[in-house]
Chains A and B, each alone.
Chain A
Amino acid sequence: MNIDGTAFGVFLGLFALVTVIGFAAVQWRRAESLAHLDEWGLGGRSFGGFVTWFLLGGDLYTAYTFIAVPALMYGVGAQGFFAVPYTIIVFPLVFMFAPRLWSVAHRHGYVTPADFVRGRFGSSSLMVAVALTGIVATMPYIALQLVGIEAVLQVMGIHGSGWAKDLPLIIAFAILAAYTYTSGLRAPALIAFVKDTLIYVVILVAVIYIPIRLGGYGHIFSVAGAKLSAKPAATGASLIPGPKGYDAYWTLALGSAMALFMYPHAITGVLATKDRNVIRRNAAVLPAYSFLLGLIALLGLMALAAGVKTPKTGLAANLAVPMLFRDMFPSWFAGVAFAAIAIGALVPAAIMSIAAANLFTRNILGPLHGGNVTPQREAQIAKLVSLLVKVGALLIILFLKVDYALNFQLIGGILILQTLPAIVFGLYTRWFHRWALLAGLVAAVGFGIYMAYVTPNALHTQAHWGSSVYHWTWWGLDFKAYAALIAFVLNVAVATVGTIVLRVVRAPAGRDQTTAEDYEAVAVPALDPAPVG
């Protein structure tokens, strides 16, 4: 072990600071009782524009942004830049549908997307399917956050062998788990301020200071371009995507954008706002993060230009950014940067596990007990499940090896995108039949997992789970596209055909709790309660 003392000291200091904040958050905007799921899990639905900006930013810009995307840029170049169009188009999408979801959820007290699905379609099985998909899809996303923390620790020289290898990671996660447990959503929301401040400082310094040291952006692009061209053709690495890469590029962008706000944690951020317009305003201002994301993605090219050589095995390309920071920054600032990345991974991991826990208690446990769960018990179980979800994420890291951490998020996307028809289509129309939606969801999840499973990695060193871009060769077609979007097409097809068939045979459609006004409802604080179904 060869630890950089200064960097590690700064890192530990900042980490201790956010830990204190995390535990103190329980006092922030103090609630009468955190024993209610609304308080623990949605922060009392009281967040205004300012907090929401930080909370949603914390949700969306994570180790995905700081480790995974630059790693892909480092490995294959332009293909990794799909994250920019992804984060451009996600906000118009949110702008369209999120206010409707907020209104109907607010009116009926829905805490999770699955609550809405049940209220809308009167189907417990569809609700459970949506909830399960959400929980499982969240785990690889949390796993990606863990990889981010691991990468930072490893570059600082904190790594052992055998069982001690994962010890620092486990300690970091134990702390996270503890303050999530006590403070609920308030903890990550409060820490998000510190995190975003750190990240803005680090990123602004990185995208100005590093290019100056490396001889300017023009130089970075030309050196990185040359190095990408020199890689084996099978990797598809290039500075500008070739025609064969177009379909993968736009399907990854569109599929990721459509998937993002289906994640329970992103919906949690939306529902925790205090009014409908907070979301709409934020959709207009959140792209400021996207600009940063683009610059952060370029760190991958800077690492190439700076001659960073990541190890061939282990975390491999995922170390590109931490190694770049270590080589470029003075020790103390490297420590700040590492802390920013690690905290930037912890905040979303906390939010994700809270959201998954909400889903479990409300939509899976509740129905099992015939709806006889007290709010106190519900909040208690949610806290425990938030721990279990994190353990699930740890297991994914241990058993599923991928070239690029980004693949974790993309696999999650394959699953979560399939809940879109029930949720988003459901916000606009009641035409789809609940059983058809369920059939579409099940078929698409199955097919999506199949596609991800059979895809080898670029160099064929690994036969399964190698990439989320599926090479489609059936029916005389030949293209490569994001498996999530292919599965989504199947999903909609099954749901549509199924609905027509079920309508012809007059299958019972289930009761709709909601009314048309609920989706726009803003001007009046509340109507009479919808009967509990």
Chain B
Amino acid sequence: MADHSAHHQADKPRPTHRPVRRWAYVLLLAPFIGTLWVSTYARSSPHLFGFPFFYWYQFAWVIAAAGITAFVYLVTTPRGRRRPPGRGGDAYPSGPAPRRDRSDVQ
């Protein structure tokens, strides 16, 4: 397998990887704790813009969870060569594997 990857990458610009921080995945646990521990937020005060706490707290988690996921995405995604405008992503293939290499094609 390793031979293959070397072979395939030989004809491409060599990607310059930035370190992938796997520890960041732990952050994804936060939304679970924040939203599934119901007794911590099942109350009506303090209100915000007329919303009882129970409701605005969960709305706040929508934004927080999106922010956390975006952050984890940024720090766990290896950046390869610059992406040509309008094309697929980085070091990732932009299309399906060739037909001959797929188990659904006889």
Contact = CB atoms under 8 A, between A and B. Distances in A.
B95 A254 contact: no
A122 interface: no
Contacts of B80: 523
A529 B103 contact: yes
Nearest to A293: B62
Contact of B62 (A109, A110, A294): A294
A469 to B, nearest CB: 14
Q: Which of A249, A277, A280, A287 has the most CB of B within 10 A?
A: A287
A281 B104 contact: no
Contact of A284 (B1, B32, B69, B102): B69
Interface residues of B, number: 57
A291 interface: yes
Contacts of A530: 103
Nearest to A280: B73
Given A89-B32, A107-B97, A529-B102, A96 B25 contact: yes
Contacts of A219: 50
Contacts of B37: 250
B94 A517 contact: no
Contact of A274 (B5, B15, B94): B94
Contact of B96 (A45, A241, A375): A45
Given A45-B96, A246-B39, A528-B101, A277 B70 contact: no
Contacts of A218: 47, 49-51
B69 A217 contact: no
Contacts of B66: 91, 284-285, 287-288, 290
Contacts of A87: 62
Interface string B4-40: 1100110000010000000001001001100111110
A497 B96 CA distance: 39
Contacts of A250: 35-38
A363 to B, nearest CB: 12
Nearest to B68: A92
Interface in B49-71: 49-52, 54-55, 58-59, 61-63, 65-66, 68-70
Q: Which of B9, B39, B101 has the most CB of A within 10 A?
A: B101
A290 B11 CA distance: 43
A294 B42 contact: no
B8 A88 contact: no
Q: Which of B9, B91, B97, B100 has the most CB of A within 10 A?
A: B97
Which 9 A-B pairs rank lowest in CB-CB distance, beginning with the nearest?
A218-B50, A109-B102, A85-B35, A526-B97, A109-B104, A287-B66, A217-B50, A284-B70, A92-B28
16 contacts: A46-B95, A85-B61, A87-B62, A89-B31, A89-B35, A91-B65, A92-B65, A108-B103, A217-B49, A217-B50, A239-B52, A245-B38, A250-B35, A290-B62, A290-B65, A528-B101
Interface of B: 1, 4-5, 8-9, 15, 25, 28, 31-32, 35-39, 42-44, 47, 49-52, 54-55, 58-59, 61-63, 65-66, 68-70, 72-73, 77, 80, 88-98, 100-106
Given A108-B103, A250-B36, A524-B9, 8 more contacts: A38-B104, A44-B96, A84-B59, A85-B36, A88-B61, A95-B69, A239-B44, A243-B39
